[in-house]
A and B are shown apart, each in its own frame.
Chain A
Amino acid sequence: MANYGAKILNNATAALAAQQTVIATTGNNIANVNTPGYVRRRAELEARIVTDSSSGIQIGSGVQVATLTRMADSYLEKLVREANGKLGASTGQVDVLDRLDQLFSLNGNTPTIGSSLNGFFDAVNDLAADPASIELRSQLIERGRDLVTVLQTTYNQVAQLQDEADDRIVSEVQETNAILTQIATLNGAISSTESGSSGAVAADERDRRSQLLQQLGGKLSFQQVELPDGSVTLSLSNGFTLVNGTHARQLSTSKTPSFAPPPTPQSLSGGALSYITFDYDPGAGAADFDLTQTIQAGDGILGGLLKVRGYNAPSNTSPFQADGVLTQVATRIESVSRMLLGQVNTTYLGPDENPGAANHQPSSGDLYGNTPRQTDGVTPAVYALFDFNFAGAKDSNGNGLPDDLGTHAGVSNYTSRLQLGVTDPRRIAAARDADATVGATSFAPGDNQNMVAISAMQRANNLTFSVSGVASYSLTGSFSDQYSETVTTVSSAVSKAKSDQGVAESQLTAAQQKLDETSGVSLDEEFTNLIKYQRAYQASARMIKIADELMQQIVTLI
């Protein structure tokens, strides 16, 4: 007869150990109920198989803990990571664009480019009604200055947003590098724990790595492959490997990478934009590989920031050739400045009195009886009504007309250099020459024809707004059409980013809820289990007592 007494004891002891393990696991779950990234664990029980050579009835050999299961779901984790990436991308954009939105406020309390343009033309029209008035002339100068200031302030703020986005990209890349390094380290820890045949699970390391992967998803888009040893390989969409086993590549940012020899295109503020690169030859430092566009095409905060900040190919020359909303808006502002410096100035100079000659002879005149250029010479110190701050020759082709914008070496944008060419109210040329003889001029103080010509530009709807060399933008219409289109550009960019953010938030919440449904700790469940296993433990303990009593019965028989 088999020794059932010993068996009872053995089974009960095994059961005690198994239940204890389960209770400990439950305890760990309860302890980590609020730990971010913690995936609940379950100790899986199974009937113990002990080969019993003796004949008789196989009653079994008790219970044991088969494995410790991490209740993870890689598909749901991927969903969370992707939603996190989308949220990062849209949040990165919203952070920047929210402030852009306020620059084009519609509440009527803050001066905008639209209202300043109106103010300027209002002063032109007022002066047209009373051309000799010094008060109205001064008003035109003041309104002109307002316009210049608002154009500059708006432009500079847009440029500053670009610089800030650039700075943030640099620090986000550093954080990304730190995450990549930690993932590589955890890869090592996981593969060394799980590589043997023990079936051990590096649960805590996996929890931390999942969390880091989610954080990395919030930074940039990447592809992930888990290898049999438990380590993950991460790569960008172009196949560039970020992490392979225990090796993590470090990205860097550079404004002067080896693939972009000077002159690299300037940023909106006149500085330079950073490229995200990987240096294949850190020693020599001349083997930079451009990853900017690959990262820009993806999600994550880096993708979002790059989309807003824009990418300018090293072969480009103008800051307005970059992509991105900020560049689009800045291009529109710059086109207004160039319209003032170009066509408005040309109109202000009046028709050429002597078309046969090489130089344009202005036909407009001021209260002193001078044409706008008469006191300035051929290469004017003063450009015309609107001027720009530049040390070299402003009229580079010397024809007397402001038709050569974009040719001034070192000038990447004219808006930040914009200024008013006239400071003396009497110097405003409101009149047109009444003397038809070439070379002779006669200006009546009450003549408003030149102001009428400028005023007509406010109503003209065939003005072409563009920036030379920038193919992506050209608009034919009125000043008002142009401003309205600019506001629409801002509006659609900001509201798209905001709605993307809303969608990403709800996607992330839904994905996290789904993941928590599987991986999250439920106290109800854990306590119910606790009671269940406590009872089992108590019962097993009672089994030992019963076995003991059975033994004693036998002993008393002796």
Chain B
Amino acid sequence: MTRVSENQQVRSLMVSLQGNRKLINQYSNEVGTGIKVNNPSDSNYSGSVAQFKQSLEKTEQYKDRVSAVKGFLTFQDDAVSQASDLVLRLQEIAEQSANETNSATVRAQMAAEAFAIRDHLASLANSTYQGRYVFGGADDDDPPYDPLTYTNSSSTASGQRYVYDSDPGNNGTRVVQVSDDVSIDTLIPGSRIFDNAIQASERLGRALEGFDTTPAPPAAPNGGGAAYVFPADAQLQSQAIRDSLTQLKTARDVDLQPQRTTIAGKLRRLDTASSLLELSKSAGEDVLSRLQDADVFESASKLAQAQTALQASMQVTTRILNISILDFI
């Protein structure tokens, strides 16, 4: 005969009460936090959860960096685009001035405009983003174009020229990682964008003001060049204007347009990286949620179930403990 002693009965009641309490604790935690895996021991996939969490954090950080890099590149794009417009205007001036019917006064005005545009180009080349020179390469703490003087000149403008810094860092690259697989060199040495444009504008301005500029392109002006003697040097002046026109075309076709395309390409790659990051973020979140998050509806219904079970076991406990043989003796 199977005996059931008092202790046995009490123990099994306690076991069922405790078991139900434990379930209620677990499910109410799940419902309360929405998370099933709080600590490593809560799941066999804790290692994966940790890895997914880290990769999600990294994705968020990459996304921040993408927007920072995008700001920097957009700034470059704006500067190059403005430079391109300015070069277009210089070309117009050059073409107009090539007409030999222009009076000296008109030429002087045209020269002033050419120099103004040159100064604008130089300020674009020396522009700063968050306090640092954008086109200075890795040597971004001082301006890439330094002003120097000509020996022969008639105005302040024609007496000045701009020379690209020769610091070793100027031609450096700056590779920035924007996702695990995509890195972008955010730097363009200023000389690759502005050298031809600035030199051509200087040559044009000086030619219009009546000065020769040595040596001839494509070499950079060295600050020398004497005044033309008219009418003997009229041919030379026209040739200088034509030369500057050719260099302006080079500036547009070889420097500015290709660099704009390059920057646009980098921005496109950023966008691609950004949308890939977005994709990997949502995919990662999806998997992480499946691994870590509690199904709140399921947990809530299990909670209700466990509550019912607890009530039932409490009822059973009180009823059974209330029955005693003493009541019948």
Contacts and interface: CB of A to CB of B under 8 A. Distances in A.
Interface of A: 33-34, 40, 97-98, 101-102, 104-108, 114-115, 117-118, 121-122, 125-126, 128-133, 431, 434-435, 442-449, 452, 455, 458-459, 480-481, 483-485, 487-488, 490-492, 494-495, 498, 509, 512-513, 516-525, 527-528, 531
B47 A484 contact: yes
Contacts of B137: 444, 446
B52 to A, nearest CB: 9
A243 to B, nearest CB: 28
Interface in B21-65: 33, 35, 37-44, 46-51, 53-55, 57-58, 61-62, 65
A495 B172 contact: no
A523 B7 CA distance: 10
B140 interface: yes
Interface string B1-32: 01111111001100100000000000000000
Contacts of A459: 177, 180
A114 B169 contact: no
Interface in B155-194: 167-170, 172, 174-177, 180, 186-187
Contact of B325 (A133, A517, A528): A528
A522 B2 CA distance: 11
Contacts, number: 204
Given A444-B167, A487-B46, A125 B41 contact: no
Contacts of B326: 527
B317 to A, nearest CB: 16
Main secondary structure, interface of A, reads helix
B4 A517 contact: yes
24 contacts: A101-B41, A114-B53, A115-B53, A121-B58, A125-B65, A126-B65, A434-B169, A446-B137, A446-B187, A447-B138, A448-B176, A483-B51, A487-B40, A487-B49, A494-B39, A494-B40, A509-B15, A518-B3, A520-B3, A520-B7, A522-B3, A522-B4, A525-B3, A528-B325
A288 to B, nearest CB: 37
B39 A444 contact: no
A68 to B, nearest CB: 19
Given A97-B41, A448-B174, A522-B6, 7 more contacts: A107-B35, A129-B174, A480-B54, A481-B51, A484-B50, A487-B50, A519-B5
Given A484-B51, A527-B325, A520 B39 contact: no
Contacts of A104: 39-40, 46, 50
Contact of A125 (B176, B187, B324): B176
Contacts of B6: 33-34, 520-523
A495 B41 CA distance: 5
Contacts of A490: 40-41, 46
Closest 4 CB pairs of A and B: A444-B169, A520-B5, A488-B47, A494-B41
A513 B69 CA distance: 70
Contacts of B62: 125
Interface bin, chain B: 35 or more
A491 B176 contact: no
Given A107-B35, A517-B8, A520-B7, A128 B177 contact: yes
Interface in B115-172: 130, 132, 136-141, 167-170, 172
B5 to A, nearest CB: 3
B273 to A, nearest CB: 13
A446 B33 contact: no
B3 A106 contact: no
A544 B324 CA distance: 35
A366 B55 CA distance: 30
A434 B6 CA distance: 87
A106 B65 contact: no
A96 to B, nearest CB: 12
Nearest to B183: A452
A480 B11 contact: no
A101 B50 CA distance: 13
A106 B138 contact: no
Interface in B65-87: 65, 68-69, 72
Nearest to A505: B15
A524 B168 CA distance: 100
A517 B3 CA distance: 5
Given A131-B174, A434-B169, A531-B329, A115 B54 contact: yes
A129 B5 contact: no
Contacts of B65: 125-126, 129
B292 interface: yes
Contacts of A494: 39-41
A282 to B, nearest CB: 43
Contacts of B58: 118, 121-122, 458
Contacts of A431: 138, 169
B181 to A, nearest CB: 9
Contacts of A33: 6-7
Contact of A442 (B4, B55, B169): B169
A125 B46 contact: no
A128 B47 contact: no
B325 A446 contact: no
A520 to B, nearest CB: 3
Given A445-B138, A516-B11, A106 B174 contact: no
Given A129-B186, A130-B130, A106 B40 contact: yes
Given A133-B130, A484-B51, A491-B44, A446 B140 contact: yes
Given A106-B38, A133-B130, A494-B40, A521 B168 contact: no
Contact of B48 (A132, A455, A484, A517): A484
Nearest to B133: A446
Nearest to A455: B177
Contact of B140 (A118, A122, A132, A527): A132
A446 B135 CA distance: 11
A106 B176 contact: no
